[in-house]
Amino acid sequence: MAISGVMRLGEVALRVLDMDAALHHYIDIVGLQKVTGDTGHVYLKCWDEHDHHSVILRSADSAGMDYCAFKCRADADLDRFAEGAKAFGLEVSELAAEERLASGRRIRFQVPTGHWVELYAHKEQNGNGLPLRNPDPFPDGLKGIAPGRLEHCFVYGPDSAAAARFFTDVLDFSVSERLELPDGSTKACFLACNTAMHDIGIVEHNEPGKFHHMSFWLDSPEEIYRAALLLGKNDVPIDEGPTQHGIGRAKTIYFWDPSGNRNEVFSGSYLSYPDRPALTWDAAQIGKAISYPQRRMAETFMTVLT
Ligand SMILES: [Fe+2]
């Protein structure tokens, strides 16, 4: 296996204000599958994920993200990254196996933007509903938009340059694209750990620990358009799109869950191997960067966070 170290975003733990409304949104409209849970915590997954779950909803008084977790290739990666994180100056704690549901041991730390990040190498697998021999292209009974997998998450916080440096220097991520302010500083940084265009994005912002969106992969631009119609059919408020980003060339829609957390469906971006040169967008081109054909974006897009 050529991929080593951090493989992918494996989990987003999200706070929701009304669990019943959240479950209607995420299961009936977005089309995630409920794995287990009760009124306090519900564990969901996308249909083509083999791991036990990828999205956790927690009932809370405020919306936002509790933490995001990345899956590593090998257990020894956790020790290597823990040492690196400590050397970088972060406090690192260890969670024993099963302290998180269906998970092997984890390391946990707070990156400079104030977000909690966890790394793990093992999670129980419960399959994607298809056999491993001669599988059909998709299982029966898919509902709603039905994305195949969790794609990336996007966060806002202070000292984003240090956070990006942590992801590149300690966790071996690559910068695929960045949005540059006139003074040369980075407003937004897109960071990839595998061949995705990005697995996490970080935006400079004065409040720590803020959540912009989590994104779900769809296989084609046609599925993005179908998702737009399903969002319309269910009166789900849309923040931006359907459109195409200049950044990443991805076809996209941003929409809101009932708690005000932003979701995205995403398709058609390029592969970003680590030797691909990083791209830079000038802040003056932010309209094209976010929504290329319209060359502008919703007022809420850069300002509403949870
Ligand atoms: Fe995104």
The pLDDT tens digits of the residues spanning 194-240 come to 899 999 999 999 999 999 999 999 999 999 999 999 999 999 999 99
Residues 174 and 249 in one domain: yes
Positions marked catalytic: 152, 198, 213, 245, 254, 264
Residues 99 and 174 in one domain: no
Residues 258 and 164 in one domain: yes
- CA separation for the pair 230, 225 (Å, rounded): 9
- Spatial contact of 252 and 246, defined as CB atoms under 8 Å apart: no
Pairing of strands 6-16, 64-72: antiparallel
pLDDT of residue 302: 87
Residue 134 falls inside a structural domain: no
Residues 102 and 17 in one domain: yes
Domain, as residue range, for 279: 149-290
- CA separation for the pair 136, 149 (Å, rounded): 17
145 Cα to the center of ligand 1, angstroms? 17
Whether the model clears a pTM of 0.85, i.e. scores above it, the answer is yes
Residue 299 falls inside a structural domain: no
Number of domains in the chain: 2
Residues 216 and 280 in one domain: yes
How many CA atoms lie within 13 Å of 40's alpha carbon, on the beta-carbon side? 0
- The DSSP H or E segment spanning 162 is helix 160-169
306 Cα to the center of ligand 1, angstroms? 15
142 Cα to the center of ligand 1, angstroms? 23
Residues 112 and 184 in one domain: no
The domain boundary, picked from 120, 135, 158, lies at 120
Residue 88 falls inside a structural domain: yes
125 Cα to the center of ligand 1, angstroms? 26
Residues 94 and 173 in one domain: no
Ligand 1 ion: residues within 5 Å (CB): 215, 264
- Low-confidence stretches of the chain (pLDDT beneath 70): 1
Residues 170 and 283 in one domain: yes
Residue 82 falls inside a structural domain: yes
Residue 302 falls inside a structural domain: no
133 Cα to the center of ligand 1, angstroms? 33
CATH of the domain at 84: 3.10.180.10
- Spatial contact of 202 and 164, defined as CB atoms under 8 Å apart: yes
Residues 110 and 188 in one domain: no
Residues 218 and 260 in one domain: yes
Residue 65 falls inside a structural domain: yes
Residue 165 falls inside a structural domain: yes
| Amino acid identity at 194 | N
Question: Left, alpha or beta for 80 (phi > 0: left; psi -120 to 50: alpha)?
Answer: alpha
| Amino acid identity at 8 | R
Residue 135 falls inside a structural domain: no
Alpha helices per DSSP H over 123-237: 160-169, 221-233
